[in-house]
Amino acid sequence: MTDPVRYEAHGEIGVIIVDNPPVNATGVAVRAGLVAAADAFAASDQKVAVLMAAGRTFIAGADIKEFGKTPLEPHLSTLIHHIEALEKPIVCVIHGTALGGGFEVALGCHYRVALKGARVGLPEVNLGLIPGAGGTQRLPRLIGMIPACEIFTSARQVGADECLKLGIVEAVVEGTPLEAGLAFARKILAEDLPVRRISAMTVAPYDPADLAALRTNVAARNTGHVCHLRAIDVAVAGADLPFFEGIKQERQGFWDLMQTPQRAAMIHAFFSERAVASLPELKGVVPRALGHIGVIGGGTMGGGIAVSCLLSGLRVTLIERNAEAAQKARDGIAGMLADSVKRGKLTPEKRDALLADALVTTDDYAALSDADLVIEAVFELMDVKKDVFTKLDAICKPGAVLASNTSYLDIDQIAAMTKRPQDVLGLHFFSPAHVMKLLEIVEAAKTAPEVLATGFALAKALKKIPVRAGVCDGFIGNRILKAYRTACDHMVLEGASPFQMDEVLEAFGFAMGPFKVTDLAGIDIGYLTRQRLAPTRDPRERFGDWGDVLYAKGRLGRKTGHGHYIYDAQSPKGRPDPELLEIIAEERARKGITPRAFSAEEIVERYMAAMINEAARVVGEGIARRPLDVDVTKLYGYGFPRFRGGPMHYADHIGLERVLATITEQAKTDDFFWQPAPLLQQLVAEGRKFADLNQG
């Protein structure tokens, strides 16, 4: 192992280089190395120092792997005070990203320069924490209370130019970190610039009304989280205290939060969303080239997939059923790109170039003859899909990857329509496909490793989070969804109201309650599914059919302005419709059910037990490789609260015995739906957790 921190003398300038791949996190060795380097500089003849990092980025923060373990000295904040206390000036050069503790190290230096393209941020709230090494105290002193609080409560990354405007850096420069650092150090020498400690500054006066507005906004955007407001409190308190008293308060807040389940959950999410992309069996497997993507079907999903590909620099050929439908698809894509322009994500010139040069819309399948990967997103009907894959097999070049975006259908059957089942896989995007981060990559029985690897390469190109799934009805996400959605219907039949369910589950942290989701997706979908399943339905199965009444009344959800809720100008986000309760009451009466009251705890307990039980089955059957794959699927595709880490992490947190006890209790009245998953039973018997299955 090379030294993670080096000290080099360049004439009158000392250069401290942090070199701890991959992202220069400040683990204990880096911290100790920085103290030693600062001491070496202090004792040397050099008059000014440069602090920089080697590799792709400046320091990305504290070493998150150390969190939850006994902290080892020197602590980061001590080290930063040590640097700031130097009697000779030190300039920090930021390249790549200076995040969390990395940015805090930069704030401990007397001057900062950023290379073009560099970004800084305090993303600790994404880990359930607050900045813990001076960020809440130094940043307000440097740039003012309101902009500082906005930066560390939003966790956003601030680009170099904005840093210059805000006064975070003295200059934005080009060149290598070493060149930039030496140049600024020479300026310090030439102009005799002094030591300048942020800790000695005071916070500029601000309007308390602006702070109150920010607090309200932050609270509304982060329901359920505990860290954001704590960060503001600590910053505000610190502004009126001597600097080191403020630091003490910050430290206390950081350590209090370090003990919370939210911190553990969010760090689990951080590592899990990276672990999903690295499957041991794909190590060294080279994906196929991706440049030209075919998309079949330009409806809701095909259009979004095409936009996602275009925005990532891929060429797209989209096939529709006829010229008119192809034009409609093109118009839809142009509309989505126009939105990107409106939101400042794309220039009008770039949009025009994408539409003119990178997108072909046609009804001629022959245009796919040189596509590298084709994604089918036609109607959810097996016969239509089989027809499409037969055509693709005849037209696509050898080695082209053929993918289906089906939500539920059997990819093996689809692959069997081709003479190249090894090239076929599922690529299950989520709606809206150019926004949602999750991509389920479905490995069929004969999918070749490099084809699976190509699915992961596509996800990377599209900046999506890929989760490998096996073939079954609904793969990971939709299969589990079906189970907990059914549990919801049971509770409504027994006496809970859909409005209560939504309220309780949103309070638990879900982005949207299940009945609001149904209104968004369309009540027709549930109706059609009930119709499809009716002939084969087991008589023991309990289900709610009030949706059929809503369907018959044309109340299809948001798209008709009326579903479980009423959507109009008065309440664009929906208000409960009292008539729904009458419709449900009639169904209960018809089924001989006497309704009873449900507590919020009972709703959460049953909802989560149904989710965890099906998830355990999905892992037990190998549909999901590890529990963490389920967690990431639910976090990124189904609005599961990140501060609870995902259903499997949550199950470990509340205890698997308790989950199994809920299932066993429910089975007393419905042993058809409530059958405990073998894996859950096994883990409880062995005294193990889902987390034990995440290793390796």
For residues 31, 37, 38, 42, the Cα torsion angle rounded to the nearest 10 degrees is: 160
Shortest CB 262 distance to ligand 3HC, Å? 14
Q: Pick what 566 binds: ligand 3HC, ligand NAI, none; C-beta below 5 to 8 Å, kind-dependent.
A: none
Query: For residues 46 and 97, which CB has a smaller minimum distance to ligand 3HC in the complex?
Result: 97
Q: Which of 14, 33, 89, 101 binds ligand 3HC (CB under 6 A)?
A: 101
324 assigned to active site: no
Closest CB to ligand NAI among residues 301, 400:
301
Q: How far is CA 314 from CA 101, 254, 362, 440, 592, in A?
A: 36, 43, 17, 20, 58
Q: Which is nearer to ligand NAI, 406 or 418 (CB)?
A: 406
Q: In terms of CB distance, is 263 or 428 closer to ligand 3HC? A: 263
Choose the binding region for ligand 3HC from 96-104, 107-115, 235-243, 470-478 (rule: CB under 6 A).
Answer: 96-104
| C-alpha to C-alpha distance for 258 and 69, rounded to whole angstroms | 10
Of 13, 17, 23, 374, the residue at the interface with ligand 3HC (CB under 6 A) is 23
Q: Which residue from 246, 111, 206 is spatially nearest to 168, judged by alpha carbons?
A: 111
Is residue 123 a contact residue for ligand 3HC (CB under 6 A)? yes
- Known catalytic membership, residue 281: no
Which region, judged by CB under 6 A, interacts with ligand 3HC, from 5-13, 124-132, 430-438, 687-695? Answer: 124-132
Least distance to ligand 3HC, CB of residue 106, Å: 12
Q: Spot the catalytic one: 12, 66, 104, 150.
A: 104
Report which residue's Cβ sits closest to ligand NAI.
299
Spatial neighbors of 121 by CB under 8 A, at least 6 apart, are: 97, 98, 99, 100, 103, 151, 155, 156, 157, 158
100 binds, among ligand 3HC, ligand NAI, none (CB under 5 to 8 A by kind): ligand 3HC
8 Å CB contact between 113 and 93: yes
Residues touching ligand 3HC: how many (CB under 6 A)? 24
Q: Which does 406 bind (CB under 5 to 8 A by kind): ligand 3HC, ligand NAI, none?
A: ligand NAI
| Token representation of residue 420 | 């190249």
In the set 29, 35, 36, 64, which binds ligand 3HC (CB under 6 A)?
64
Whose structure tokens read 């050069």? 93
Angstrom distance (rounded) from CA 39 to CA 548: 75
Strands 575-576, 565-566: parallel, antiparallel or unpaired by DSSP?
Answer: antiparallel
Q: Nearest 5 degrees, angle CA 501-CA 505-CA 510?
A: 140
Q: Of 53 and 336, which CB lies nearer to ligand 3HC in the complex structure?
A: 53
CB 283 within 8 A of CB 364: no
Based on the shown chain and the rule CB under 6 A, indicate whether residue 25 belongs to the binding site for ligand 3HC: yes
Q: Which is nearer to ligand NAI, 327 or 431 (CB)?
A: 431
d(CA 673, CA 37): 64
User: How far is the C-alpha of 100 from the C-alpha of 305, rounded, in Å?
Assistant: 34
Which residues make Cβ contacts (< 8 Å) with residue 171, sequence separation at least 6?
A: 113, 114, 164, 184
Question: What is the contact surface with ligand NAI in residues (CB under 6 A)?
Answer: 296-302, 319-321, 325, 377-380, 384, 388, 405-407, 429-431
**Under the rule (CB under 6 A), what is the footprint of ligand 3HC?**
22-23, 25, 57, 60-65, 76, 97, 99-101, 104, 123-124, 127, 131-133, 135, 274
Q: Which residues are catalytic?
A: 104, 124
